[in-house]
Amino acid sequence: MAQSKTKDTSDTAQDVTPDEMRLPLMKAALEHVAFDGWSKATMGRAAEDCGVSSGFAELAFPGGPEEMLALHLQMVDEVMMAELATLDLPSMKIRERITTAVRVRLQQNKDQREIVRRGMSYMLLPPHAGLGAKALWRTCDQMWRAAGDTATDYNWYTKRMMLAAVYMSTLQIWLDDSSDDLADTWEFLDRRIENVMQIEKAKFQFRKVKEKMPSLSRFLGRLRYPVK
């Protein structure tokens, strides 16, 4: 039996390229992440499940578990965007669009909370903090794009920074939420979105007031160069 298994593994490795096995290996790894985290051990078990050697898995993911996690996060974003594309977001108010985007993301992962927790723990480690920041920014950017955001000025950055804070704080509640139908999570999310909308409203009102205020630089200029 051992000889047959070795042959099958060799045959599989010859039939596909490392690139072709990236997605199957990553999906197989999800079965082990809850127990072993994003680790070399998880990669090895995923390789065994897929009938390839651990060395073959390392060829598919030369960056190790971090590269495998990055692929997983990219796939999750794509799945989220695919579902959001089926919804009538344009008919909603902007706050409803963003709330819907966050809810869709969390609902899609409702059966993978331990995987999400393990991923967050991994990305909180200093060597992997770059991946965490990049993945969070991409997710929030995708949410805003789905919501129809077309900002190109500094608002492009502030919107994503505020959504990142909302999403991460809501994620913390969601991870340990045992309420019926995640009621506590959705209530928390609604409150955070309301806070953001109040900030945006205040910023808008300040800009309107600022437009009506006399220019300080013009006033000082007149003091220095009075009209004759």
pLDDT digits (tens, 9 = 90+) for 30-44: 999 999 999 999 999
Collect all residues with Cβ–Cβ distance below 8 Å to 199 and sequence separation of at least 6: 162
Each residue of 102-132: b (16+ CB within 10 Å) or e? bbbbbeebeebbebbbbbeebbeeeebeebb
Average pLDDT over residues 4-23: 67
205 domain residue, yes or no: no
Residue 207: its pLDDT value, please? 52
Residue 197: its pLDDT value, please? 74
For residues 148 and 146, give the distance between their C-alpha atoms in angstroms, rounded to a whole number: 5
**Counting beta carbons within 10 angstroms of the beta carbon of residue 58, is it exposed (0 to 12), middle (13 to 18) or buried (19 or more)?**
middle
31 domain residue, yes or no: yes
Q: How far is CA 77 from CA 17, 84, 215, in A?
A: 25, 11, 45
For residues 163 and 143, give the distance between their C-alpha atoms in angstroms, rounded to a whole number: 9
- Asked if 155 and 181 sit in the same domain, the reply is yes
pLDDT digits (tens, 9 = 90+) for 77-98: 999 999 999 999 999 999 999 9
User: What residue type is assigned to position 27 of the chain?
Assistant: K
- Asked if 121 and 153 sit in the same domain, the reply is yes
Task: Give the residue with greater pLDDT, 136 vs 225.
Answer: 136
pLDDT digits (tens, 9 = 90+) for 108-160: 999 999 999 999 999 999 999 999 999 999 999 999 999 999 888 888 999 99
Average pLDDT over residues 56-85: 98
Residue 204: its pLDDT value, please? 47
- Asked if 109 and 183 sit in the same domain, the reply is yes
165 domain residue, yes or no: yes
Query: What's the pLDDT band for 1 if we cut at 50, 70, 90?
Result: very low
pLDDT digits (tens, 9 = 90+) for 154-193: 889 999 999 999 999 999 999 999 999 999 999 999 999 9
CB 226 within 8 A of CB 218: no
Provide the CATH number for the domain around residue 89.
1.10.357
User: What residue type is assigned to position 64 of the chain?
Assistant: G
Q: Which has the minimum average pLDDT: 54-68, 111-125, 213-227? A: 213-227
Average pLDDT over residues 196-221: 55
- Asked if 42 and 85 sit in the same domain, the reply is no
- Asked if 185 and 82 sit in the same domain, the reply is yes
CB 68 within 8 A of CB 45: no
Residue 105: its pLDDT value, please? 98
Task: Give the residue with greater pLDDT, 212 vs 68.
Answer: 68
Task: Give the residue with greater pLDDT, 122 vs 8.
Answer: 122
- Asked if 189 and 79 sit in the same domain, the reply is yes
Domain of residue 117 covers 72-196
Structurally, how many domains does the chain consist of? Answer: 2
Going by C-alpha positions, the residue among 78, 72, 58 that lies closest to residue 131 is 72
